[in-house]
Structure 1
Amino acid sequence: MTSPKTTASQQRLTQIKDFLTMSKSATTLPWDPNSTKFPTRKELPSIPGAPPEAAWFWGDDDYIGRINLLTPTRVAAAAKEIKTGEIVNVNLPLTTPATPAFNREPFRLELKALVENIAYDDVYHMNTQSGTQWDGFRHISHIPTGSFYNNTRGGDVIGPNANHKCSIHHWAEHGIAGRGVLLDYRSYANKKGINYDPYDYYPISFEELYQCGKDQGIDIRPQAQGGDIKIGDILFVRSGWVEAYHTKGEEERAALALRPHVLGKKDGQRYAGVSQEPQVLDWLHDSYFAAVAGDAPTFEAWPTHEDYHLHEYILALWGMPLGEMLDLEKLAQKCRERNRWTFFFTSAPANCPGGVSSHVNGTAIL
């Protein structure tokens, strides 16, 4: 165990190094979101009573996790990414997919005539995760311990003692806006002759993502390691699922969505996505993304072939918003035409006290 004297000495050395390098390291609790240097995954200190690798360092009552990184300074800097002013919607229609995966309820619109030919209302019947979605921190726990982000439990979500811990409305109150970075892996794979089916298990490794970024002119390593990824960036990975969805007829789409869902490698629900290898875990953590998102029903390759799910790390352990089924088709086209893969991004999560997740309501501005 590290002695208090040793810890004090280490902090003093960090303070001296910060002074010499004009940096500001996150060493005291709660972490200052304005810090310019944060611990790597391998450097994370342990938290008494928390699962290993938990990064619950923003305060005991924090329920926005890495959204904290979206400080006024970083948002103002991200706004400088707006060059042409082109607005790109990244939300699928609420009716898409018509048959959601994982046994989720499809969206249904009910129209109500208040006064015929004069006034109308409408009622939405929907599962927030039936289409373009943010997975909130109440969505999945660290399975071995049953811990949701920042020591939230199932009893905080549903039951006689339910409360607003990790409720989606906390995200809405802060807001999500920052610099987006798109990795168009689908186009890169086509260019390199890499063939895969977005409706089947296909893990996109860190090395493949690195080469994809290099092909786009981006070094996807964090700035602390000499790369182009800035603290608080919002990552988007295009695997090609939306493209594949639109090439299929309604019956085939429905049949694929209704494949049997079971836990484990034999799950009939299968999708291409980010690999769950340790190198990907290090990269996603150490880049200090404010959020990550993809275009498939699962951000990671599904089903997992490891004894953990990437969802557990991203949501429960690190407190990082995770988006799925974003429509990245037009955005990829615009980025390719402009030969620039960063942009300003904003999202308005649902201001729903007690809510689990939300549609993204996201916009990219080039």
Structure 2
Amino acid sequence: MNTTAQSRLAQIKDFLTMNKTASAIPFDPNSTKFPRRKDVPQAKYGPEGVPTAWVWGENDMVGRLNLLTPTRVKAAASSEIKTGDMVPINWSLNHPETPAFARESFEHKIKTLAENIAYDDVYHLNTQSGTQWDGFRHFAWVPTGSFYNNTHGSDIIGEKANDKCSIHHWANHGIAGRGVLLDYRSYCDKKGIAFDSYQAERISYADLEACGKEQGFDIRPQAQGGDIQVGDLLFIRSGFIRTYFSKSQEERKRLALRPHQLGPDDGQRYAGVKQEEPMIDWLHDCYFAAVAGDSPTFEAWPTNQDYHLHEYLLALWGCPLGEMVDLERLSEMCKEKKRWTFFVTSAPANVPGGVGSHVNGTAIF
């Protein structure tokens, strides 16, 4: 069936079901149905042979944050905020003391304006050194060297640098909606599964599916009969932060300073989600507004494929990617409440030209 016929059939089905299908690019974020990865049409301005890329329009700067429409945000607040309990999901800025990948440590100084009367803070930090959002300028689609929506290195740094796809666009849009926690580390604890946060342990789609079942949560998208709603913000707890604090300061430093080189022999090794087709399909087809984990890399590092999930999430789909989000207290609250969804807000830094930001997030029950 050709594209025109498919579009016409979708229109007829929408009329009968009162739905609205995103069948043509640019997608309308107010749509109620979105195509699976295998059915996404090719954007005329997208990278050739990659039909899932840049579906929100060639001038878009916020990617899947478009899915956080007023209707979805209002519905999430109504359904999820019941008791008003708040759980911050930010690690303190001085952790980790020694960041991975040779990143700069956080520095905090107090500036005296008038002794005993007024003081200021002075921070020096790398936005990738702790709880963080990877922005669209952080990681490119490697085969073409293209960042989200045809952004290039020359847009980011140099004489022609500009604000294309910078983090301030997220700040101006806002991040708020329904959060979902898949507590994989608690699942491992319950099942007696050994798991090392400082090795490239790979969490597969099947693993997350089993974790969801243990929680009483179907991780399939709602369009396929599951519990994931369009625009959800996904959080996966691997237990990195718990493991971090279980080690001495000297051991944490040694692990953070393992030699770094791109490729399978990288000494920097961290647990995370697995690079595999089922995972790519799931992350795409759920239409998450953002995804995040508690490890330094979200995906298992180093990759065991010729691609990184960062490429798909950031460069192709425009899906914000969070790392080292503190999910320890959130895990305990979810267990106490016996629910794995909540309202969540995040305030990225309003920095024109910025690459990333600390999350500045709060979950509300």
Is the TM-score greater than 0.5?
yes
What corresponds to 1:166 in structure 2? Answer: 165
Q: Does 1:46 align with 2:42?
A: yes
What secondary structure sits across from 1:220 in the alignment?
A: coil
Structure 1 window deviating more from structure 2 (113-122 vs 281-290): it is 113-122
What corresponds to 1:346 in structure 2? Answer: 345
What corresponds to 2:102 in structure 1? Answer: 103
What secondary structure sits across from 1:331 in the alignment?
A: helix
Structure 1 window deviating more from structure 2 (34-43 vs 303-312): it is 34-43
Change beyond 3 A, Cα 1:268–1:53: farther
CA deviation profile, 1:281-329 (whole Å, cap 9, x unmatched): 0000000000000000010011100000000000001000000001100
Post-superposition offset of 1:280: 0.4
What corresponds to 1:329 in structure 2? Answer: 328
CA deviation profile, 1:7-29 (whole Å, cap 9, x unmatched): 33222111001111221011233
What corresponds to 1:67 in structure 2? Answer: 65
What secondary structure sits across from 2:315 in the alignment?
A: helix
CA deviation profile, 1:94-134 (whole Å, cap 9, x unmatched): 00000000000000001110111111111110000100000
CA distance in 1, matches of 2:86, 2:3: 49
CA deviation profile, 1:173-213 (whole Å, cap 9, x unmatched): 00000000000000001111110211111000101100100
Q: Does 1:27 align with 2:23?
A: yes
CA contact (8 A) 1:270 1:302 kept: yes
CA distance in 1, matches of 2:4, 2:97: 58
What corresponds to 1:77 in structure 2? Answer: 75
Q: Which amino acid aligns with 1:13?
A: L
CA distance in 2, matches of 1:58, 1:46: 12
Post-superposition offset of 1:49: 5.3
What secondary structure sits across from 1:358 in the alignment?
A: strand
What secondary structure sits across from 1:170 in the alignment?
A: helix
What corresponds to 2:138 in structure 1? Answer: 139
Q: Which amino acid aligns with 2:137?
A: R
Q: Which amino acid aligns with 1:227?
A: G
Post-superposition offset of 1:31: 1.3
What corresponds to 1:286 in structure 2? Answer: 285
Q: Which amino acid aligns with 1:38?
A: F
Q: Which amino acid aligns with 1:317?
A: L
What corresponds to 2:247 in structure 1? Answer: 248
CA distance in 2, matches of 1:48, 1:174: 26
What corresponds to 1:198 in structure 2? Answer: 197
Post-superposition offset of 1:159: 1.0
CA deviation profile, 1:57-105 (whole Å, cap 9, x unmatched): 2122101000000000000011020111110010000000000000000
CA distance in 1, matches of 2:3, 2:342: 40
Q: Which amino acid aligns with 1:105?
A: E
What corresponds to 1:11 in structure 2? Answer: 7
Task: Report how many aligned residue pairs link the two structures.
Answer: 362
What corresponds to 2:123 in structure 1? Answer: 124
- Segments of structure 1 that go 5 or more residues without pairing to the other structure are none
- Segments of structure 2 that go 5 or more residues without pairing to the other structure are none
CA distance in 2, matches of 1:207, 1:58: 30
What corresponds to 1:55 in structure 2? Answer: 53
CA distance in 2, matches of 1:49, 1:176: 27
CA distance in 2, matches of 1:311, 1:278: 14
CA contact (8 A) 1:74 1:232 kept: yes
CA contact (8 A) 2:46 2:53 kept: no
What secondary structure sits across from 1:337 in the alignment?
A: helix
Structure 1 window deviating more from structure 2 (48-57 vs 147-156): it is 48-57
In the superposition, the TM-score normalised over structure 1's length comes to 0.97
What secondary structure sits across from 2:246 in the alignment?
A: coil
CA distance in 1, matches of 2:343, 2:258: 37
CA deviation profile, 1:322-362 (whole Å, cap 9, x unmatched): 00001100000010011100000000000000000000000
What corresponds to 2:188 in structure 1? Answer: 189
CA contact (8 A) 2:292 2:321 kept: yes
Aligned-residue identity in percent: 68
Q: Which amino acid aligns with 1:64?
A: V
CA distance in 1, matches of 2:3, 2:246: 58
CA contact (8 A) 2:29 2:66 kept: yes
CA distance in 2, matches of 1:360, 1:250: 25
CA distance in 1, matches of 2:63, 2:280: 17
Give the aligned CA root-mean-square deviation in angstroms: 1.0
Q: Which amino acid aligns with 2:275?
A: Q
CA contact (8 A) 2:183 2:237 kept: yes
CA contact (8 A) 2:264 2:302 kept: yes
CA distance in 2, matches of 1:215, 1:140: 34
CA contact (8 A) 1:53 1:317 kept: no
Q: Which amino acid aligns with 2:14?
A: D
What secondary structure sits across from 1:292 in the alignment?
A: strand
